[in-house]
Structure 1
Amino acid sequence: MKQTTIRNLHRDLGYFYIGLIISFAASGIMMNHRESWHPEKYTVETKTIQVNLPAEDKINEKFADSLGKALGIDDKMRRNKVDEGKFKMSFEKHDVEIDMKSGKGEIVSYIKTPVISQMMKLHKSSSSWWIYYGDIFGLSLIIIAITGAFMIPVGKFNFKRRGWKLALAGIVFPLLFLFLLG
């Protein structure tokens, strides 16, 4: 392949996908920290409640669903659990946390954060159209990486002399995290 063709392909794919690359990168960073910060939603209202809870062994999906309805929550339940002496329920637009002993708790209501919520949907979407587009995007990133590796054909900074070492380090580094820290 001619050098100008490689440069043109690299440039044009880079320009075409620049918005998606930035969106994926930003939403990926947010997804990495979703356990400590909920970037997708923000608090609209916090309401204190008092509830009489049954024994922990009587708390199940059916109980959680009926309690949610009794508390006026009509959105879909995601999960519920008893953890560290607290009964926790998570809904699409609400989180509920109740102390098992005292029955005191709170309902936190959320709405989706504009733009951020839509960007994070990029990582979560399972529509067949988006999956195919994501596959094309992934292949394009591979092409961008390969063409980028051969854009500097000669000199001490080309792929054959220096680039392959950095590329290998770029492959080894995430593998170390997977195997040693995973």
Structure 2
Amino acid sequence: MSVRWRHYNRALHRDIGYFSVALIIIYGISGIAVNHVADWNPNYSKSCEIIETAPFEHDERDSVVAEAMRKLGLTEEPLNYFRADDETAQLFYRGTTYSIDLPTGAVLRESNPPRPVLYEMNQLHLNHVKGIWTYIADLFAVALIFLGVSGLFVLRGRLGLAGRGKWLLAAGTLLPLLYWVWYTAS
């Protein structure tokens, strides 16, 4: 009976592991990216460009917007307009801001495009897509729990749980426990 149980355990561990590889990689990469959110924006990159144009001739709102659209080749009206001071105007578009120095005509174009692939990974990992993905993510969590527990019983003997496996299991269990004790004490 024990041999049969181990056979089914190995087969399920292998098959669920193969099935889960893509999600493990997505969640792993996204997890690393999101863990360092204090150092960078894992979803968007920042792009700045200075565009030189002729000095602006007008200073009232509608004229500045029309002149900026013409000089910058913009076809859509901005979502918003802001006049920081007498010499600076800002045009706001979805994901892009144009800061215009009216006397010189210098324009600072700042945009925040999504990071290719990483943006989508983060959306899945952080469950921003909601809906059915919530249930897929829950099933994946159950699969990870199964992989962790079933992995304890894949090998037998000196390489398995009865041998060096017990020491690795103890070390892996102590790591988060010791950190939690240290974290709550500080």
Alpha-carbon separation, structure 2, partners of 1:69 and 1:175: 53
1:134-155 deviation digits (Å, cap 9, x = unpaired): 11111111111111110112x2
- Per the alignment, residue 78 of structure 1 pairs with none
Is the 2:96–2:112 contact (alpha carbons within 8 Å) kept by the matching residues of 1? yes
Matches within 5 A, 1:43-82: 43-46=46-49, 69-70=81-82, 71-75=90-94
Matches within 5 A, 1:27-106: 27-46=30-49, 69-70=81-82, 71-75=90-94, 93=95
Q: Structure 1: state its 5+ residue gaps.
A: 49-67, 76-92, 96-105
Which structure has the larger Rg? 2
Is the 2:26–2:125 contact (alpha carbons within 8 Å) kept by the matching residues of 1? no
Alpha-carbon separation, structure 2, partners of 1:162 and 1:69: 66
Alpha-carbon separation, structure 1, partners of 2:49 and 2:172: 45
C-alpha RMSD of matched pairs (Å):
2.6
Matches within 5 A, 1:158-169: 158-169=160-171
Matches within 5 A, 1:130-141: 130-141=133-144
SS at match of 2:45: strand
Aligned structure 1 segments of 4 or more residues deviating by more than 4 angstroms: none
SS at match of 2:112: strand
Alpha-carbon separation, structure 2, partners of 1:4 and 1:15: 17
Alpha-carbon separation, structure 2, partners of 1:178 and 1:6: 32
- Per the alignment, residue 142 of structure 1 pairs with 145
Counterpart among 174, 177, 185 of residue 175 in structure 1: 177
Is the 1:45–1:110 contact (alpha carbons within 8 Å) kept by the matching residues of 2? no
TM-score of the two chains, using structure 1 as the length reference:
0.64
Name the aligned partner's letter for residue 114 of structure 2. K
TM-score of the two chains, using structure 2 as the length reference:
0.63
1:76-115 deviation digits (Å, cap 9, x = unpaired): xxxxxxxxxxxxxxxxx369xxxxxxxxxx8742100111
Could you tell me how far 1:130 is from its partner in structure 2? Answer: 1.7
The verdict on how the C-alpha distance between 1:172 and 1:5 changes in structure 2, with shifts beyond 3 A counting, is same
The verdict on how the C-alpha distance between 1:178 and 1:130 changes in structure 2, with shifts beyond 3 A counting, is farther
Is the 1:94–1:110 contact (alpha carbons within 8 Å) kept by the matching residues of 2? yes
Question: Which is strand-richer, 1 or 2?
Answer: 1
- Per the alignment, residue 57 of structure 1 pairs with none
Percent identical? 30
The verdict on how the C-alpha distance between 1:2 and 1:35 changes in structure 2, with shifts beyond 3 A counting, is same
Q: Structure 2: state its 5+ residue gaps.
A: 52-79, 83-89, 98-107
1:5-64 deviation digits (Å, cap 9, x = unpaired): 11110000110010110111011111111211223222232569xxxxxxxxxxxxxxxx
